[in-house]
Amino acid sequence: MDCLFCKINNNEIPSYTIYEDEFVRCFLDINPISDGHTLIIPKKHFTDINDIDLKYLCKIQEVSKRIVKLLNDKLKPDGIKLVQNNGVLQEVKHYHLHVIPHYNKNKKNKVEDIYKIIVKN
């Protein structure tokens, strides 16, 4: 399978992973809409909302709360939105949830710098 996110899950492509467990991987988007833009993906391949297993969907939602808290604590955004696209709206045909911080003042830092802020204790 030639899926970008499966390759990230298999460590064939590097990522700025900020959380991982047996079901999901969370990493910073390399073309972020804003500082801290994170993708949550299942470790098993599902194309979209129509075929994802409920167990994985629930785990993604559970982990999204953890990621929102982490981003709030580390980056102090003014708000956060969660976005999940399907069909022609999906750039990568592997189910994923976008966690996108919003800032009243436009911030745009390098992904590497945001990663360092998030992962440091």
Which of 98, 41, 97, 100 minimizes the C-alpha distance to 75? Answer: 100
Tokens representing residue 64 in the block: 């999204």
CB atoms inside a 10 Å sphere around CB 46: 17
Rounded to whole angstroms, the Cα distance separating 88 from 54 reads 22
The identity of residue 1, as a single letter, is: M
Q: Catalytic residue at 45?
A: no
The Cα-based distances of 112 to 11, 33, 106 in angstroms read 18, 15, 18
- Among the listed residues 45, 94, 96, 98, the single catalytic one is 96
Catalytic sites, residue numbers: 96
